[in-house]
Amino acid sequence: MLRESARTLFERAGSAGRSRKLRDADGGWDADMIRELAEAGVFGVTVPEDNGGLGMGLAAGGVIAEEVGRVIAPEPVVVTVGLGLGLLRRLCPQHAMMDQIIGGETVLAVAWQERGPNGGPGEASCRYDGGKLTGSKAWVVGAVGADGFLVVADSDAGPVMVLAEAKASGLSFEKTAQADGSAMGELTFSGTPAELLANGTAVQGALAEAISDATALAAAELIGLSDRAFEITLDYIKTREQFDKPIGSFQVIQHRAVDLHVMREVAQAGVREALAQMDSEADPKVRARLASRAKARAVTAAKKITRDAIQLHGAVGYTDEFDIGLYLNRALVLSAWLGDDAYHRRIWFDAREEEGAAQ
């Protein structure tokens, strides 16, 4: 029922065609869609009932993420459910901001990464002192159109999580376009006032758990994307004719389609199993390993399926008027976010080696 509800909502809004229009406009999202998703209970699906959510767990969040992927929706659903609410429900579940996000009244982006001297991720240098932020944050997903930012920074008392409004003084924002037309944000704080929400070692622990949640949900989004890309391709090879025959009647095309179908099914089963296990697992290290397994499997499948889909479409697959190109570009962006397949395989194998050495 949850899947049908989300799918109906997205299809009524315009499916992938709506995403194309928003991409061509400014790379943002639709505020009305945010409210509709909130009314359907989408944002509160993983939040416990005691904190105003539905308490359905990460597996149910994966159902929503798959439907987001099927229509390559630009709304920051996974970012909100996995990172934003993931942090708030662990660190300050009674804060009024929880209800506002679940109700679709407010959209917050999470700023936790920083750019190092070599351009890659670096150690935290953003500071929070005297109620104000100084420093910068990079690769902030969902920053365009956000009402505020949950910022993880350092302070004299250790790590902190603070809330900075998007229009706060001393906050500057630089938009960086991505391959799929969406945008990341680069934030700079110069004495920016911010509200302290949490401090201490619990901040880093909650951040790690929220990243695991978001990683697994991103894997589910890639599964939904792969599923729809395969459906589009299957429809195309059944109708595209060459030598007076549908190209899908050629054995070599059939073999490639079967290979993609098997890869899609295996990846889907693996990701759904990982999400279900994460719901019943309390150990953060085990949950992180499950999230890495899911993301590695989903990225491999998504890149293979979307790239082969372009080839099976032929030259028209490279044109912007065909939707299949939108799915490839989105797959590339989602695959890189929070680590690609090679990165997560390395985490998985390192964890297994560490576990074996301990035994």
Q: What is the CATH number of the domain that holds 346?
A: 1.20.140.10
Asked if residue 173 and residue 47 are part of one domain, the reply reads: no
Burial code (b: 16+ CB inside 10 Å, e: under 16) for 30-62 equals beebbebbbebbbbbbbbeeebbbbebbbbbbb
Asked if residue 340 and residue 210 are part of one domain, the reply reads: yes
Asked if residue 240 and residue 124 are part of one domain, the reply reads: no
CATH number at 25 reads 1.10.540.10
Asked if residue 346 and residue 230 are part of one domain, the reply reads: yes
pTM as predicted? 0.94
For 256, the 3-state DSSP assignment is: helix
Domain endpoint, select from 199, 229, 263: 199
Asked if residue 283 and residue 318 are part of one domain, the reply reads: yes
CATH number at 186 reads 2.40.110.10
Tokens at 133, concatenated? 């932020």
Asked if residue 76 and residue 193 are part of one domain, the reply reads: no
Q: At what angle do helices 201-239 and 284-313 cross, to 10 degrees?
A: 20
Tokens at 229, concatenated? 């890309």
Asked if residue 172 and residue 292 are part of one domain, the reply reads: no
Report H helices in the chain: 2-13, 15-25, 31-39, 57-70, 77-78, 85-91, 96-102, 201-239, 251-280, 284-313, 324-336, 341-358
Residue 138: strand pairing partners: 113
Per residue in 304-335, pLDDT (tens digit) is 999 999 999 987 888 888 899 999 999 999 99
Per residue in 227-259, pLDDT (tens digit) is 999 999 999 988 887 777 887 778 888 999 999
Residue 122 sits at φ, ψ, to 5 deg, of -130, 175
Tokens 């209970």 belong to which residue?
41
- Split into its structural domains, the chain has a count of 3
Domain endpoint, select from 47, 76, 106: 106
* Domain of 31, in residue numbers: 2-106
Asked if residue 208 and residue 354 are part of one domain, the reply reads: yes
Q: CB-based contacts of 327: which residues, under 8 Å, 6+ apart?
A: 16, 72, 225, 228, 229, 232, 306, 309
**Signed CA dihedral, 212, 298, 33, 47: sign only:** negative
Per residue in 146-170, pLDDT (tens digit) is 999 999 999 998 999 999 999 999 9
Q: Could you give the percent of the chain with pLDDT greater than 70?
A: 99
Antiparallel, parallel or unpaired: β 148-155 and 108-111: parallel
